[in-house]
């Protein structure tokens, strides 16, 4: 481990898994940068999902490095790795979250690694707690890490979700599947969120969307049909940074989820109400005018001043 990188982790010396996992993620990210600079050909897995040699090469590296560093752990990877799934601890790894971006030369992708604790006797269909998270963006050299109960960090500095109090002032993220788009209802949700927020971003990496909520760059994120390797690390980052992750109905999130709603927690109740109305097909509340938005901001500011006196 280099001096620069070790200094970033010194203030978190109580971490159990993060220091070694972070170095593995950095090395994996360096490999992705090399492939990105050279350019890679894409292949198809299924009808429309793409995969590159970078996905497969980096997953093989992650498998070998994790099994060497944590020989008692299991690994569950996007590109097919399934090792020691009966182990007490299991890594969910995505060697390249944002493959479509990567393949098109769009520099927004990451390595994502989340560690689940699966106590003896836990049913196969049940989730164990996520206890460690590492997300590394090699193009920005941004390392997001967390361990349960110990906070979330970006390049060694503590991070927290945003203080945005209402959806109307929020920057929101979502994603769309590369397959079965015609069966996905998300475009209808996208329209409503676009009208009712400061804006919606669709950047193409679920792991980075969740990391951005954790550090306050985004205020909420929703998506359908994600996999454990997409979400495991991001879930813990959001929760350790003070945010919340549920289903659209408010039930506790699942790793292998049909629906995900993550937020800074302050606007979560409002988001759940909007989803409840949209899913029920009810008429939604009318959009406030710009003048009404301004009046509501003024009311909140006045209330905050009054409470501080």
- Least confident range of 5-9, 95-99, 276-280: 5-9
What is the DSSP secondary structure assignment for residue 63, as one 8-state letter? Answer: H
pLDDT band at 8 (very low <50, low <70, confident <90, very high): very low
Q: Bridge partners of 223?
A: 260
| More confident: 233 or 256 | 233
pLDDT at residue number 294: 76
d(CA 77, CA 187): 29
| More confident: 182 or 258 | 258
| Residue 240 in this model has a pLDDT that exceeds 90 | yes
Whether the Cβ atoms of residue 111 and residue 138 lie closer than 8 Å to each other: yes
pTM of the model: 0.88
pLDDT at residue number 44: 66
d(CA 175, CA 107): 17
% of the chain with per-residue pLDDT over 90: 68
| Residue 48 in this model has a pLDDT that exceeds 60 | no
Alpha-carbon separation of residue 52 from 40, 59, 264 (angstroms): 7, 11, 34
d(CA 115, CA 155): 19
What the block records as the tokens of 105 is 């030369």
Helix, strand or coil for residue 89?
strand
For the ranges 3-17, 33-47, 114-128, the maximum mean pLDDT occurs at 114-128
Contacts of residue 140, defined as CB under 8 A and 6 or more positions apart, other chains included, come to none
């Amino acid at each position: 481990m280099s001096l620069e990188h070790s200094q970033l982790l010194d203030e978190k010396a109580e971490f159990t898994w993060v220091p070694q996992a972070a170095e593995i993620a950095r090395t994996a990210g360096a490999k992705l940068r090399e492939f990105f600079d050279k350019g890679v050909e894409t292949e198809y897995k299924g009808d429309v999902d793409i995969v590159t040699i970078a996905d497969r090469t980096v997953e093989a590296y992650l498998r070998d490095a994790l099994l060497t560093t944590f020989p008692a752990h299991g690994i569950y990877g996007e590109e097919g790795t399934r090792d020691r799934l009966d182990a007490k601890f299991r890594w969910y790894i995505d060697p390249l979250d944002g493959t479509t971006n990567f393949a098109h030369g769009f520099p927004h992708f990451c390595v994502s690694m989340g560690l689940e604790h699966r106590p003896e006797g836990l049913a196969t269909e049940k989730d164990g707690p996520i206890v460690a998270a590492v997300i590394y963006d090699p193009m920005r050299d941004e390392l997001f890490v967390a361990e349960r109960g110990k906070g979330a960090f970006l390049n060694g500095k503590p991070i927290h979700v945003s203080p945005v109090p209402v959806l109307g002032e929020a920057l929101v993220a979502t994603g769309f599947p590369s397959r079965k788009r015609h069966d996905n209802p998300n475009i209808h949700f996208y329209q409503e969120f676009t009208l009712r927020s400061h804006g919606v971003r669709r950047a193409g990496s679920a792991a980075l969307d969740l990391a951005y909520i954790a550090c306050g760059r985004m205020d909420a994120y929703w998506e359908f049909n994600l996999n454990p390797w997409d979400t495991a690390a991001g879930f813990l980052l959001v929760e350790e940074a003070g945010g919340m992750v549920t289903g659209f109905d408010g039930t506790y999130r699942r790793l292998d989820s049909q629906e995900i709603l993550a937020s800074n927690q302050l606007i979560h109740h409002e988001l759940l109400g909007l989803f409840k109305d949209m899913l029920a097909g009810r008429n939604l509340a009318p959009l406030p005018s710009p003048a009404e938005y301004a009046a509501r901001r003024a009311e909140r500011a006045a209330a905050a001043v009054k409470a501080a006196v």
